Structure 1
Amino acid sequence: MTAKNDALTRSGFEHYYELDYDAATRDFERALAAHPDDAFAVNHLLAAIFFRELYRAGAMESSAYANNSFLSNRTPVQIDSKTERRIKELTERALALSDQQIAKNPRDANAYYARGVTRGMQSTYLALVNKSWFGALGSAKGARHDHEKVLELDPQYNDARLVVGLHSYIVGSLPWPIRVVAHVVGESGNKASGLRDLSTASNSGGDAAVDAKVVLALMLRREQRYNDALDVERQLTAAHPHNFLFALEEANLLKDSGHGAEAITAYRQVLARAARGDYHDPHLEFAYYGLGETLRGHRDFAAAVEAYQAVEGLPRANADIRRRSELAAGEMYDVLHQRERAVKMYETVIASGGESDQAQRAREHLSRPYEN
């Protein structure tokens, strides 16, 4: 038996896709103890620990990646030094195990796949934690090459199409001058073929199928193919009804596609289910902010203020979403001709926002009331 088909691994992934990363970590720790030389077991534990930190920081909400604005965000995800050391140790261990297996058998598709997965997580870490875009690109390139090797050895190894498809889509999305440079240094990409690979991976029933669906839905959202993205997202919510992010993304897609009334209902359902305890550690600030934005679009400004201000009462709200909500609440108070309340919200944003875009807009609104 390998770690891939261990009962503890299966249990770990059930917790993982419910966003109960602590329970997933416990199961993956035990699976690794039973399979200490299995790179897959190391990767599973690495993923649970790393994505727990990303989720804690609010860095897994898809709206941040629905356009290219995240590339200009220089605020790194903060991870404590003990966890950083653990992530580094597991990354190095997984890479070493894969390298050893490839040295023994250069045609071992599983070893190339495992190494590509590790490199993919390393790329994400470098991008979001270290804000090292060049380092992240190097690891991403290595991940793609590993998974292209997997498909060369076994064309039916469809899990590998997740990384290959995502990389192809990203390169194909680059502005033409940059794409030419990428081609010169050996990088090619095509959005259509990337989406096809992602679709194949998502429908393969393999270990990466859920992750492939998540990525596919996000890429379809970027393409403004909202109905297709909703179809994929509803598959995820049906299979994982206790995953807060999947339910939130369905509401986000309804909002972005112009189905405002349905989006309002969806956000309120997410919040109601959270109140019943249906989700593990939900980041409700994203749901309240999305609800506020949708109500604002419907010109229900009083209800929008209520949604925005609900974020203030959350003890661990993402700082960026908190500032956005405070600024939006101030703007709604201006629209409602409640200037004193608007000024108070703008001052709050400035006090916490430093040189952020929200703080700059708040300063402008102090000088001149916001007009819708």
Structure 2
Amino acid sequence: MRKAWLVAAFLVLFLSISALAGDLPRPSPYEALSSSGLNHYYSLEYDEAVRDFQKAADISPEDPKAWNHLLEAVLFRELYKYDALDTSLYTHQSFLSTKQVPADAAVKQRIRDLADKSIALADKQLKSNPQDVRALYARGVAKGLRSTYLALIEHSWFAAVRNSLSARSDHEQVLKLQPGFVDAKTIIGAHNFVVGSLPLAVKITIGITGIHGDKNKGLEYLEEAGKAGGESSADARVALALFLRREERFQDAINVVHTLVQEHPKNFLFALEEANLMKDAGKGPAAVAALRTLLEACKAGKYPQAHTELAQYALGEALRGQGQYQEAIPAYEASGHSNSINKELRQRSLVSAGEVYDILGKRNEAVNDYRAAEGLDSSTDEADRARKRLSKPYKGR
């Protein structure tokens, strides 16, 4: 699990690093569109965010940051479509063997083109002025977003890590030139934590290449960026909560995520994360209540962009953790039989439902769910798990 977390952390770093940070005042139309796009983005309204950021980029076509805004919205729209923004994904060992996000070829090309465009514009500005802080910052963000694309859509792990390290280098240079540019501390803080969490032997090995990290400094940087009120504030807190969870500082993580829930009341993922953290903290009844409240709010239309299959699976897990096996089954099966295009989540849900049926001694029902899981896609790790359960009843809890 440690190996999976360390690799996953390098790749998930930029899931929480916003291209929207560090903006300086702009003419009113650009500023209004960027602000509107930001509001849509944090409400998971990606189509509307893409629309506004495209218009903003058309107004300021030479600004790499404008294209970063658009790049991020296009990329994250695709990732959310396939449930790749659910942080609980990265707590599973199977993360490294999951299939690529099956993005459309045209979408992948657009993402690559937008990243290349932003980096080229930043390079052009840096050629004229090597100490252009805005250009350095924008280039680092673009490289970070390209790292996310390479990792989660292409599964090009080493290329992803190279881009993320290059992004850190750009942002370290930003802080050297302008120490008060707190938004740059988000990427640097995340990297510091990840590298600082590596086993000593690995840290010594990569230290020879100049890669260093300090876990406590990483948390400090993220906390500072999160409290600074800049446009990377929310993103710093997402990363901070992820790492606090890794440190088993669950209440601290809950406190951080709660601020995000309050600031972005239409963001389904933030509300889901708060409930999942309650479960991880051992607050099972509170987690169950929070997840049921979340699902009711989804039915009432509070979260129009919700992927309820994620909350149903989480509810099944929380109920199972409380020994409420009979109640867990319909939650798991609601996720497993949903129309989500995330087949591996559906398989995991159905296998989990089958396991609970086995615990209750209902073998026929368990077999039905295992077969349904395998039938969705026979090539996945979850399908292997289903076949294992078909050959021998589950005896765990």
Secondary structure (helix, strand or coil) at the match of 2:138 reads helix
TM-score where L is the length of structure 1: 0.96
State the match for 2:386 in structure 1. 362
The one of 276, 293, 297 aligned to 1:252? 276
Q: 1:119 to 1:3 in 2, by over 3 A?
A: farther
Which of 262, 275, 278 is the equivalent residue of 1:238?
Answer: 262
| Distance in 2 between residues matched to 1:3 and 1:266, nearest whole Å | 42
Matched to 1:252, the amino acid is N
Q: Is the alpha carbon distance of 1:265 and 1:3 closer, same or farther for their aligned partners in structure 2, counting shifts above 3 Å?
A: farther
Between the aligned partners of 2:93 and 2:388, the Cα distance in structure 1 is 25
Cα RMSD (Å) of the superposition?
1.5
Deviations 1:319-359 (A, max 9, x none): 11111110111111122222111111111222234243332
Structure 1 counterpart of 2:75: 50
Deviation at 1:66, TM superposition (A): 4.1
Superposed counterparts of 1:268-287, under 5 Å: 268-287=292-311
Distance 1:355 1:89, change over 3 A: closer
Whether 1:17 aligns to 2:46 is no
1:132 paired to 2:156: yes
Question: Deviation at 1:168?
Answer: 1.1
1:9, distance to aligned residue in structure 2 (A): 0.3
Mapped pair 1:262 → 2:279: no
Q: Deviations over 1:29-60 (max 9, x none)?
A: 11111111111110000000000000001100
Overall identity of the aligned pairs, in %: 44
Say whether residues 1:81 and 2:132 are aligned partners. Answer: no
Q: State the 1:175 CA deviation.
A: 2.1
Q: Is the 8 A contact 1:254 1:262 kept in 2?
A: yes
- Quick one: which amino acid aligns to residue 174 of structure 2? V
Gaps of 5+ in 2: 1-24
Residue 68 of structure 1, CA deviation:
6.5
Q: 1:107 to 1:257 in 2, by over 3 A?
A: same
Task: Report the Cα distance in structure 1 between the residues aligned to 2:186 and 2:245, rounded to whole angstroms.
Answer: 17
Describe the shift of the 1:52–1:312 C-alpha distance in structure 2 as closer, same or farther (beyond 3 A): same
Cα distance change on mapping 1:337 and 1:67 into 2, 3 Å: closer
In the TM superposition, residue 75 of structure 1 has moved relative to its aligned partner by 1.3
Q: Is the 8 A contact 1:58 1:318 kept in 2?
A: yes
Tell me whether 1:108 sits opposite 2:132 in the alignment.
Answer: yes
SS of equivalent residue, structure 1 residue 205: coil
**Which of 100, 103, 115 is the equivalent residue of 1:91?**
115
Q: Is the 8 A contact 2:196 2:203 kept in 1?
A: yes
Q: Which amino acid aligns with 1:45?
A: L
- Report the AA paired with residue 157 of structure 1: F
What TM-score results when the alignment is normalised by the length of structure 2? 0.90
Q: Which amino acid aligns with 2:381?
A: D
**SS across alignment from 1:292:** helix
Aligned partner of 1:370: which letter? Answer: Y
Give 3-state SS (helix, strand or coil) of 2:339's partner. coil
Query: Are residues 251 and 298 of structure 1, via their aligned partners in 2, closer, same or farther at CA, if it must alter by over 3 Å?
Result: same
State the one-letter code of the partner of 1:49: V
Partner of 1:7: 32
Q: Report 1 or 2 for greater relative contact order, CA contacts < 8 Å, sequence distance ≥ 6.
A: 2
Deviation at 1:218, TM superposition (A): 0.8
**Counterpart Cα distance in 1 of 2:87 and 2:189:** 18
Q: Distance in 2 between matches of 1:366 and 1:69?
A: 20
> Which letter does structure 2 place at the counterpart of 1:132?
S
Partner of residue 3, structure 2: none
Secondary structure of the structure 2 residue equivalent to 1:156: coil
What secondary structure is seen at the aligned counterpart in 1 of 2:135?
A: helix
Note the C-alpha offset of 1:281.
2.0
1:247-289 deviation digits (Å, cap 9, x = unpaired): 0000000000000000000101110111111113211111111
One-letter amino acid matched to 2:382? Q
1:226 aligned to 250, 255, 260, which one?
Answer: 250
**How far apart are 1:362 and its partner, in Å?**
2.4
Counterpart check, 1:31 vs 2:59: no
1: distance between equivalents of 2:45 and 2:198? Answer: 35
Secondary structure of the residue that 1:48 maps to in structure 2? Answer: helix
Aligned counterpart, 2:142:
118
Counterpart contact for 1:3–1:32, Cα < 8 Å: no
Are the equivalent residues in 1 in contact too, given 2:190–2:218 (CA < 8 A)? yes
- The code of the aligned residue for 2:70 comes to L
Which residue of the partner structure matches residue 233 of structure 2? 209
Find the aligned partners of 2:178 and 2:109 in 1 and give their Cα distance.
Answer: 35
Give 1:12 deviation, angstroms: 0.4
User: Number of aligned pairs?
Assistant: 371
> Aligned AA for 2:250?
Y
